[in-house]
Amino acid sequence: GDRVVINPGHEVGDGRVSVLGEHSDGTHAELIAVPRSQVYPLPGSIDFESAAAFPLVFETAYRMLVTKAHLQDDEWVLVWGIGGGVATATLAIANALGAHVIVTSSNEEKLARARELGAEATFNHETDDVAAGVKEITGGGAHVIVDNVGEATWKRSLDAARPNGRICVCGATTGPNPPANLHRIWWKQLTIFGSTMGSQADFEAVYELVKSGRAVPVVDAVFPLAGAAAAHERLEAGDQLGKIVLRIPD
């Protein structure tokens, strides 16, 4: 059969997107049926593990950085928590577009790996003054901040943003109700927006970035389908950097 990659989001109208594994059966299976419009040719230069790793997180990151934040060449991006798939996709796409990326983690091995992947600066968010460090490196603060952490990082995100900066909220792993600090938003004239998934146009744009080799997915580990439980345990432990992939038997 043909080598293909699947766009995990299917536009259903009124700005709504149906997501594989959320609104319909997912891909933890040997076979799956999807609309033809979600299927794209997979070049021989991209292996199946990378093809499994990039669609959802790269589409999500592209929508945040390009469609919504309008990231420009030479701007600075701060990414909280470099372990997850969206964070590593953000690093790859921002680098491909000529931006400078700062990442955080509490794990020194992940910070070292992030530097290998192109991060220009790294901070341990448990021990470092991230906001002060970001402002020093960038000369005033990050242009774009990607915050999927929520309560634990919100105040520091507002502090680390430069005047007229943009903060993307794409998750709340430590809680959805941070202190508002509204005065920082208006005095610094910040733009704050939420983002999740993306449109078909977002997917097609990032598909071209990956096809060209300008943005490369990060695969943390590959498990057989029969080892799905172990894969989920690794994910829940937070040990990964990049995407955990399940290999479907031939």
Domains annotated on the chain, with CATH: 4-57+199-247 (3.90.180.10), 58-194 (3.40.50.720)
Contacts 24+ apart (CB under 8 A), 8-11: 8/38, 8/55, 8/56, 8/59, 8/197, 9/38, 9/56, 9/59, 9/197, 9/198, 9/199, 9/200, 9/203, 10/34, 10/35, 10/37, 10/38, 11/199, 11/200
Task: Count Cβ atoms below 10 Å from residue 59 Cβ, excluding itself.
Answer: 26
1 or 75, which is more confident?
Answer: 75
For the cut 80, the answer to whether the pLDDT of residue 155 exceeds it is yes
Calculate what percentage of the chain has a pLDDT beyond 70: 100
CA 110/CA 131 separation, integer angstroms: 20
CA 135/CA 140 separation, integer angstroms: 5
For the cut 80, the answer to whether the pLDDT of residue 214 exceeds it is yes
Nearest alpha carbon to residue 203 among 25, 55, 52, 2: 55
pLDDT of residue 35: 87
Average pLDDT, integer, range 27-47: 90
Calculate what percentage of the chain has a pLDDT beyond 90: 83
Q: E-strand spans in 14-75?
A: 16-19, 39-41
For the cut 80, the answer to whether the pLDDT of residue 193 exceeds it is yes
180 or 120, which is more confident?
Answer: 120
Q: Range with the lowest mean pLDDT among 21-30, 36-45, 48-57, 81-90?
A: 21-30
Which phi and psi angles does 10 have, rounded to 5°?
-120, 115
pLDDT of residue 68: 97
CA 12/CA 199 separation, integer angstroms: 10
pLDDT of residue 18: 79
Burial class (CB in 10 A: 0-12, 13-18, 19+), 188: middle
For the cut 80, the answer to whether the pLDDT of residue 250 exceeds it is no
Which secondary-structure segment (H or E) carries 195? none
Contacts of 118 (CB under 8 A, 6+ apart): 91, 92, 95, 101
pLDDT of residue 24: 79
Average pLDDT, integer, range 236-245: 94
Task: Count Cβ atoms below 10 Å from residue 111 Cβ, excluding itself.
Answer: 20
pLDDT of residue 249: 84
pLDDT of residue 69: 98
Confidence of residue 180 (pLDDT cuts 50, 70, 90): confident
Nearest alpha carbon to residue 241 among 63, 117, 122: 117
Q: Range with the lowest mean pLDDT among 160-164, 177-181, 215-219, 224-228?
A: 177-181
